[in-house]
Structure 1
Amino acid sequence: MRLTREDVVGRAVEVFRRRGFHGTSMADLAAACGILKGSLYHHFPSKDDLALAVLEDIHAHFRAAIFPLAHGPLPPTDRMAALTRAVAAYFAGRDGSCLMGAFALEIGAGDERFAVRIRAYFDDWAAAVAAPLEPRHGVVEAQRLGRDFVARTQGALMLLKLAGDDEPLARCHAAMIAAT
């Protein structure tokens, strides 16, 4: 079986999620793909290049499947509820692991190639959260609340990952819906 670039990215997501960026080697990634390390370099010249493709893949998924739920003809409360359900479902299936958040903490602003992509993801997420809040709070306050709710969600995801406690995430999402 010949792996495509997309196959490699999909398998790399789980390795990075479990081991982190610095704890993952190209040998780990190749093993997850069932290929030799040299074959992995055919698709990606470096671990950085593969990690950046993983971040883009995650962001693309959220842009296509999750963030659009915040827009449309439904009432704001229904849009926020749909958005929070989709976010909860995505992260519940990953034990609360947020690779963007993990990479932000692990790599941080130390590498601008990563920082710019991670910031774009969180900015897009905050904008999606802000959209249903705008009718009630206005643009400026909705943007502030959007960023606050994303930050609160990230903290709740950490607790979900560390302790398996999904109550903080549920409370955060209930507060988001109540704010619309």
Structure 2
Amino acid sequence: MPDSATKAAWLDAGAVEFQQRGYNATGIAALAARSGALKGSFYNYFPSKEAFALEVIAGYCGAAGLEILAGDAPPDERIRAHFEHLRRELRRRGDAFGCLLGNFAGEVAADNPVIRGAIEAAFDGWAGLLADAIAEAQPDHADSAGPRAQLLIDAWEGALLRAKVTADPAPVEAFLASTLTLVLDA
């Protein structure tokens, strides 16, 4: 019978392997080696690599600090705290690996409608929480909160992509120093 600790080890391994190697280059053998589980046990926990990826994506989103956006602090502070949380997570995982959602979007979304749907739903949920916080911060401009939330996400993902290319976290720091202020003060 599958146990939860082994399943968690598989998922943790998947988060790292997908982040470092990508979806297509990650095989069951590498996942087994990283998780410490037997290669043959993978299908006791997951019906397919695609289903496994969906669970990894869900876990990644669960650790993204989205609850910060709905907290009790003033909304502009929540938005900044959320992106600061994302930066800390980025550093913890290694700056060079970017955002798992962005990585999946760039590599798999065009070819896999199931994973594309999961990524789209994750981005939409994130944008909705950001838009709510922006609208709360600036009720007189609530009608533009949705597009500004999308802009923040697009700018964040772009900063992560540039940071990967340059092997320098400066674009992320620039996002935190200027983009947030520009969008939130608009």
- TM-score tier, shorter chain, comes to 0.7 to 0.9
- In 2 relative to 1, CA 75–113 (structure 1 residues): closer, same or farther, beyond 3 Å? same
Aligned to 2:180: 176
1:123 aligns with 2:124: yes
Aligned to 1:4: 6
Aligned to 1:59: 61
Aligned to 2:147: 144
Deviation per CA, 1:3-53: give whole Å up to 9, x if none. 421221011110111111111111111121223321222212322121111
CA distance in 2, matches of 1:161, 1:88: 14
Contact map agreement 1:104 1:118 (CA 8 A) in 2: yes
Aligned to 1:80: 79
Contact map agreement 2:13 2:35 (CA 8 A) in 1: yes
CA distance in 2, matches of 1:129, 1:165: 26
1:132 aligns with 2:101: no
Contact map agreement 2:9 2:36 (CA 8 A) in 1: no
Report the identity percentage: 29
In structure 2, stretches of 5+ residues that fail to align are none
CA distance in 1, matches of 2:54, 2:71: 31
Contact map agreement 1:80 1:177 (CA 8 A) in 2: no
Aligned to 1:164: 167
The normalised TM-score by structure 1 is 0.87
Deviation per CA, 1:41-67: give whole Å up to 9, x if none. 2212322121111111112223xxx11
Aligned to 1:20: 22
Contact map agreement 2:127 2:153 (CA 8 A) in 1: yes
Aligned to 1:101: 102
Q: CA RMSD in A?
A: 1.9
CA distance in 2, matches of 1:71, 1:29: 34
Q: Counterpart of 1:74 in 2: which secondary structure?
A: coil
Q: Which amino acid aligns with 1:127?
A: G
In structure 1, stretches of 5+ residues that fail to align are none
Q: Which amino acid aligns with 1:20?
A: G
Task: Tell me the matched-pair count.
Answer: 176
The normalised TM-score by structure 2 is 0.85
